Amino acid sequence: VTVSSTLDRPRAPHGLNGLVVADTALGDVRGQEGFFHYRQYSGVDLAEHRSFEDVWALMIDTELPTDDRFSREVRSLRDIPAEILALLPHLAATSLSATDQLRSALSLLAGSLHLNAITDLTPSQRRHDVLRLGATLPVLAAALHRHRHGLAPVPPRHDLGHAANYLWMLNGTEPDTRHASAVEQYLILTIDHGFNNSTFTVRSVISTGADMGAAMLAGFGALTGPRHGGALSRSLDVLDAVTAAGDVTTWIRGELAAGRRIMGFGHAVYRTTDPRSEHLKSVALGLDTPRARLAVEIEQSILDELAAARPDRKLYANVEFYAGAVLESAGIPRELFMSMFTISRIIGWGAHALEQATDSKLIRPDAQYVGPPPPQPVWG
């Protein structure tokens, strides 16, 4: 933090990078070590050994559950109000992208639930709102997808966990256990990730006292940016482009010469391997589809070329590089990738929103005015 000479106000570093702006008990990312955790547990250990609902409970209720009460609670919250169900076919018939349809549906749903400003709610009412939004987002995503393809929505099944139920609602067939496990691990790995941009956005909105729906929608918008979560399907474009070019080296040299960034590589915090990417690589290898094999094959060539282009700044594959290959191999259509990320991250947003709601301070920073000196005359 440096102090501006003219106005004597402390100046935050560019992009607020490295500046601590809140306390959280929800987790952190250690960029130098390549480690991230949810509360006191390694994110990768949780993905390997626990269910999505267990990790959801950990984030919301502070502890890993020892029984199925939380899981039964969230499964009972999947119902969508009839007035919103009736709107979904109309929304699905519009020219809006799958992501924009889901964001709009979430907005409609939040409105229909008549969520109150968090300043007017008890902690248990806020918790309920957060769980409701997390439980219903996959139902909206799957129903919209089926409407877009001229199919009737498949109602949620209360005997299935979050990931398996999502696949069930998408396809209307018994989910393949390997696919459900791959999707579940992806979802767990992407629930939260330190004080990322969409999380900060959510917490900023909550500090105004707005309702949980408004906060989740703001987070949704932030996540869609290509520098944040919007690179997920673009990383599959990399696999397509390499396949079309026939040779990874030629393709990547052309991209770098044109000054383009390679999607699925580089990270704002990790200065070593991204543990999520490493874990998803093993999931991809387990699924053993041609696409997953291609991703593994070309990763090293891309890294070699990036290292040759920027010897001073070593880059690694990030979560999105393997996430695309894993999701596609598990049968998730590319148009739904962004929705998948929101389905997991809304759990992290909800946990952060509940934490932020305990602080009554409005987040309201300053900017330094750099335009022409005011006041200038506004008349002739």
Ligand X SMILES: CC(C)(COP(=O)(O)OP(=O)(O)OC[C@H]1O[C@@H](n2cnc3c(N)ncnc32)[C@H](O)[C@@H]1OP(=O)(O)O)[C@@H](O)C(=O)NCCC(=O)NCCS
> Taking contact as CB under 6 A, which single stretch among the options 102-110, 112-120, 266-274, 350-358 is the one that binds ligand X?
266-274
**Least Å from the CB of residue 171 to ligand X:** 28
Which of 60, 139, 170, 263 touches ligand X by CB under 6 A?
263
Please list every residue from 295 through 314 that binds ligand X, using CB under 6 A. Answer: 306, 310, 313
Q: List CB contacts of 44: < 8 A, sequence separation 6 or more.
A: 189, 275, 276, 278, 279
Helix H, strand E, coil C: the string for 45-96 is HHHHHCCHHHHHHHHHHCCCCCCCHHHHHHHCCCCCCHHHHHHHHHHHCCCC
Stretch that binds ligand X, among 18-26, 243-251, 257-265, 362-370 (CB under 6 A): 257-265
Shortest gap between Cβ of 224 and ligand X (angstroms)?
A: 12
Smallest separation, CB 318 to ligand X (Å) = 4
CB of 178 to ligand X, least distance (A): 25
266 binds ligand X (CB under 6 A): yes
Q: How far is the CB of 296 from ligand X (least distance, A)?
A: 17
Cα separation, 380 vs 361, whole angstroms: 44
239 interacts with ligand X by CB under 6 A: no
- Strand bridging mode 35-38 / 27-30: antiparallel
Q: How far is the CB of 166 from ligand X (least distance, A)?
A: 22
Q: Does 195 bind ligand X (CB under 6 A)?
A: no
Name the residue nearer to ligand X (CB basis): 64 or 303: 303
- Respond yes or no: is residue 267 known to be catalytic: yes
Alpha-carbon distance 23 to 38, whole Å?
A: 14
Q: Residue by residue, what is the 3-state secondary structure of 85-144?
A: HHHHHHHHCCCCCHHHHHHHHHHHHHHHCCCCCHHHCCHHHHHHHHHHHHHHHHHHHHHH
340-359 binders of ligand X (CB under 6 A): none
The reply to whether 223 sits near ligand X by the rule CB under 6 A is no
Q: Which of residues 313-342 bind ligand X (CB under 6 A)?
A: 313, 315, 318-320
* SS3 (DSSP) at 305: helix
For residue 231, state whether it binds ligand X (rule: CB under 6 A).
yes
- Does position 252 interact with ligand X (CB under 6 A)? The reply is no
- CB of 209 within 8 A of CB of 84? no
The 3-class SS string of 266-295 reads CCCCCCCCCHHHHHHHHHHHHHCCHHHHHH
**Active-site residue, from 299, 320, 328, 352:** 320
Which CA distances in Å does 139 have to 80, 317, 333? 8, 31, 16
The span of 56-64, 165-173, 263-271, 359-367 binding ligand X (CB under 6 A) equals 263-271
Which of 37, 267, 279, 352 is flagged as catalytic?
267
CA atoms within 13 A on the CB side of 172: 10
Is residue 34 close enough to count as binding ligand X by CB under 6 A?
Answer: no
Q: Which residues bind ligand X (CB under 6 A)?
A: 227, 231, 261-268, 306, 310, 313, 315, 318-320
Residues labelled catalytic: 267, 320
